Structure 1
Amino acid sequence: MTLLGTLLAGEPRALARAISLVERGGPAGEKLVVQASAHAGTAAITGITGPPGVGKSTLVGALVRELRTRDDRVAVLSVDPTSPFTGGALLGDRIRLADHFLDEAVFIRSLASRGSLGGLAAAVRPAALLADAAGYSHVLIETVGIGQAEVDIAGQADTTVVVLMPGAGDTLQAIKAGLMEIPDVLVVNKADHPRADDLVRELRRTARFRARNAPIVKTNALTGDGVAELADVIAGHRSREHGRRTAGRQTAAQREIVRLAMDGLRVRIERLLHGGDEGRAALEAVAAGHRTPESTARWLIAELTGEGGNR
């Protein structure tokens, strides 16, 4: 049976191989994603984001446990920092998800962020699509937790959950990071903390958060308190906002296309400048003041668009 066939049959090892193929890049992975997309579209995709140390991984583990009591198949995509040596995910499969490793209805995969400032790996969108095609009813995407630019997830998920904790100055940090612009659901984790209710009141006073009109759910990921309510709120949000999220994904797709196109152009420009005599001569001329950067940029554009012979 082909990789696509075993993927559609729900074989976890096929999903793991498919995601690895996509992470390597190239036509084979792209073709597989296109083929699988015809069989996707039913999974609930939830993004879990927030500042470091708020208990996102523990909460994801508790949410997986709750969804499994509802007989759902769950895929977890944990986006981790990139190793400077191997280029792979630095933390690997999350230790806090170890309770689910032997559950055949739970798929867990770490993806390397590879320097993405948005907290997402480039392979997240296609990996979520592949998990959807493989028959997982829920896909949970946990972001790196870098704190300053974790807004990309809002365009990739049906429901964006922002996790904060009391006593850590999270509200101010979240406002600075732009996180208060994106939550569909806001979680105050570690709800047994003496200042948990203070944080809830503070959030309700925050103008940017009030504009989102998102529900606040208090949880204790270690004990499981509030997690069933969180699962219900996520399900309710997805059913209400399906049409708006479809439009949001189109906007996210546009941003991703532009980013990939710019990355490709950058590679081609560097090849032109460093890979031939004319490019190296142009660099030397600009450095020596004999040629302007503007005229060199116009030459590069002409070369890239095939108009170089018309100069």
Structure 2
Amino acid sequence: MDVATLVAQAREGKPRAVARLISMVEDASPRLREVMAALAPLTGNAYVIGLTGSPGVGKSTSTTALVSAYRRLGRRVGVLAVDPSSPFSGGALLGDRVRMQDHATDPGVYIRSMASRGHLGGLAWSTPQALRVLDAAGCDVVVVETVGVGQSEVEIASMADSTVVLLAPGMGDGIQAAKAGILEIGDLYVVNKADRDGAATTARELGHMLSLGEARGPGDWRPPIVKTVASRGEGVDEVVEALEKHRAWMEAGGELRLRRRRRVADEVEAIAVTALRARIGDLRGGRRLEELADRVLSGSMDPYSAADDLITSLGA
């Protein structure tokens, strides 16, 4: 099937066409440039929500509840659930798809599991292009659920319009709140499993740590803390309300455009760096890189000069 037909069918909401386009992204298809060129005029409308947190805080359950809340508002929703890769096949373990069966037959919801394939940061390398596919396919909201992440895996903050950080009581999050990293990236903090003992303490400690963070001016966004029981849908409407307020704040001050421009800049840079690495890899088949390495090894050239020489030979 030609790319134009696939894109047209994706715009009509046909899940098979969307799936094929995302597969082309994940497989780095030779037709990927053609796909991205066709999608470019159709993007820029979806509101991207990043959902992240440590393993076991209820990310998949919260994603399911969030999708239900947006569907009640009549929004078309896409979900990119980044799963750990299988050490055998390299594919996603599909745990998130299993937990989101409530929406499997809803034509207004598209769910896709993506394998991280060893990419650090809690996301898959192809996530930005997959977001473009769902955006062009007419999704009003796209929820990106990361792999269970630690303190340093904060890539979702640069890829989402709004980032939701999930915590849960009884998982050491009170101590984690004192650490730099993932708890500095949230636009909204959610204490899930709030029916457990210690939920109020977790929320209180989190609020205290946030108050000690960077100084905010009168017009700056102050991340709210919402308590939920996602398995019962409790508090989820409050999460949606807080997200809508954040979106309105970003649109009013121009922050939304700035974030999206940074996201696109990162995407363009990643594509360019990947292309350059491929060209450097091609040089390994020749002698230039080995010659430069020999000169650095002998002390007749420093590594920075060698790198400059290599870049010149690439025509970059």
TM-score, with normalisation over the residues of structure 1? Answer: 0.88
Counterpart CA distance in 2 for 1:203 and 1:65 is: 27
Equivalent AA in structure 1 for residue 268 of structure 2: I
DSSP-derived class of the 1:187 partner: strand
Cα distance change of structure 1 residues 201 and 301 upon mapping to structure 2, 3 Å threshold: same
The one-letter amino acid paired with 2:285 is G
**1:276 and 2:254 equivalent?**
no
Identity %, equivalent residues: 46
Q: 1:131 to 1:57 in 2, by over 3 A?
A: same
CA-CA distance at 1:60 after TM superposition: 0.6
- In structure 2, the CA distance between the partners of 1:262 and 1:33, relative to structure 1 (3 Å rule), is closer
Contact 2:83–2:96 under 8 Å retained in 1: no
The offset of 1:85, in angstroms, is 3.4
Q: What residue identity is the alignment partner of 1:216?
A: I
**Amino acid across the alignment from 1:270:** G
Q: Does 1:266 align with 2:277?
A: yes
**Equivalent residue, structure 2, for 1:252:** 263
Aligned to 1:152: 155
Q: What are the superposed Cα offsets for residues 224-256 of structure 1, whole Å, 9 maximum, x if unpaired?
A: 111111122212221221220210121222233
- Residues 1:107 and 2:110 are matched in the alignment: yes
- How far apart are the structure 2 equivalents of 1:210 and 1:183? 15
Q: 2:48 aligns with which of 16, 30, 45?
A: 45
Question: Which one-letter code corresponds to 2:45 in the other structure?
Answer: T
Matched pairs, number: 305
Match of 1:302 among 302, 312, 315: 312
Which residue in the other structure is 1:225 paired with?
234
Structure-1 separation of matches of 2:131 and 2:226: 25
- 3-state secondary structure, aligned to 1:119: coil
Letter in 1 for 2:237: A
* Whole-angstrom CA distance in 2 between matches of 1:64 and 1:28: 32
What is the letter of the counterpart of residue 61 of structure 1?
Answer: T
In the TM superposition, residue 291 of structure 1 has moved relative to its aligned partner by 6.2
| Higher deviation after alignment, 143-152 or 292-301 | 292-301
**How many Å separate the matches in 2 of 1:46 and 1:70?**
16
Consecutive unaligned residues in structure 2, runs of 5 or more: none
Instruction: Evaluate the alpha carbon distance shift between residue 291 and residue 214 of structure 1 in structure 2; reply closer, same or farther with a 3 A threshold.
Output: closer
Determine which of 69, 85, 90 is the counterpart of 2:88. 85
Equivalent position amino acid for 2:135 in 1: D
Taking the TM superposition and a 5 Å limit, the aligned residue runs for 1:111-190 are: 111-173=114-176, 175-176=178-179, 178-190=181-193
8 Å Cα contact 1:192/1:220 also seen in 2? yes
Secondary structure of 2:144 counterpart: strand
- Which position in structure 2 is the counterpart of 1:59? 62
1:171/1:33 CA distance change after superposition, 3 Å: farther
TM-score w.r.t. structure 2 length? 0.87
Q: Report the aligned-residue RMSD.
A: 2.4
Q: Using a 3 Å threshold, how does the CA distance of structure 1 residues 33 and 279 change in structure 2: closer, same or farther?
A: closer
Describe the superposition over 1:10-33 as per-residue Cα deviations: whole angstroms up to 9, x where unpaired.
111111111111222245223323
After TM superposition, the structure 1 stretch with the greater mean CA deviation from structure 2, 279-288 or 219-228, is 279-288
Unaligned stretches of 5+ residues in structure 1: 307-311
**Aligned-partner SS, 1:222:** helix
Asked if structure 2 preserves the Cα contact closer than 8 Å seen for 1:166 and 1:190, the reply is: yes
